Amino acid sequence: MDFGKFIHELLLENEIVIIPGFGAFVSEYKPAEINEESDEIKPPSKIILFNQQIRNNDGLLVGHVAETKRISHFDALKQIEKERDEILYKLDSGEKVELTDIGVLFHTEENTIGFKSIDDENMLLDSFGLEATSITAEEEIPEENTTEEEPVAPPVSDEENTETHPSEQVEAEQNEDKTTPVDEPVVQSTIIPPKEEEKKKGWWWLLFIFIPLLAVSVFVYIQGQKEDISKPAQEPETAITPILQPADVPQDMVESDTVTIAESDTVTTTTELVEAELAVENIPNAPKYYLVGGSFSVEENAEIFMDELKAKGLKPFHAGKKGRFFIVGIAQYDTFNEAEQAKVEYMKEHPGSEVWVWKK
């Protein structure tokens, strides 16, 4: 049997899970934190710690194993003790023990049991689905300008124009009459064609048409909203029927009804449990400390365990419920010292029973 699976399931809803005679795994809340190296903020989570000082059996792990495997409380405790002894043997031999989904157990230099948890999974149900988020904004890469610039011819200085060959001057003078001055491109670059002016005027006319249409549509929409709001006021008023409050029912009748509604195969045991709890509450100066033989999440298992104790000559009784577990008591006392002394004597007579004291 692997403790890790059962401990992992219980730590999701409980803060502490105890292995009888070994130690306790405690879940501690860890707030959100910022990792400066990766510039990420991590969501809140749970970290698992191990405390070797807490070793008393609170019945939580035993009850969960018994319910999951559908075995008795006594058999579940035997399996847990066997697995515990194997873990202690491996640790004494210098080996490391890995618990599934929980972490690794090992012996420290101080001859104590050390524990290293697994940090991969977030066991905090409130943070389910949350992941680490980067706190630095991503840099936007500017788009490269792909337009190609046309090469520009270098300007020609006046000195170069004046220093020409005499033959070239003669040819230039002969061609002056044939050539025409090239001044038109400069004038055309500054004049706006009339077609572009007409296009700009067309856009203004479109705006003059669009704005009145938009104003009319908004006006129609507002009038429709006003008509929809005014319609409920014209509807005829519906008749209001008085609500009759149910008459007060005596508490005895309610308790009897709740008993009869229950299933037929569990009516007897449920009634006995309720009567036992009421009897304890109605007795003045009722005992507050109980010597508990076991706790069960299923009532039938509690009845089977009581039959086993009766066969040994004991007088077990229902001591009530602790959360969702049914508590089977062996004896009841007024003070803690009396209950603790009875526990020591009982464990001497019944070794391996793992009884415990419960204050109600």
Most confident listed range (95-104, 115-124, 150-159, 272-281): 95-104
Torsion from C-alpha of 313, 315, 320, 321, nearest 10 degrees: 0
Among the listed residues 149, 102, 131, 113, the one whose alpha carbon sits nearest the alpha carbon of residue 6: 102
Identity of the residue numbered 204: W
Q: Is 298 left (phi over 0), alpha (psi -120 to 50) or beta?
A: beta
pLDDT tops 50 at residue 304: yes
Which whole-number Å values give the CA distances from 223 to 47, 211, 216, in the listed order? 61, 19, 11
For residue 63, the model assigns a pLDDT of 92
Interatomic CA distance for residues 171 and 319, integer angstroms? 130
For residue 163, the model assigns a pLDDT of 45
User: Checking DSSP bridges between strand 133-134 and strand 289-296, what pairing results, if any?
Assistant: unpaired
CATH 3.30.70.1070 occupies which residues in the chain? 261-359
Which whole-number Å values give the CA distances from 78 to 62, 156, 217, 352, in the listed order? 9, 106, 82, 9
CATH topology of domain 261-359: Alpha-Beta Plaits (3.30.70)
Number of H helices, E strands in the chain: 11, 13
Stretch 1-16: mean pLDDT? 85
Lowest mean pLDDT, pick from 58-72, 165-179, 283-297, 322-336 = 165-179
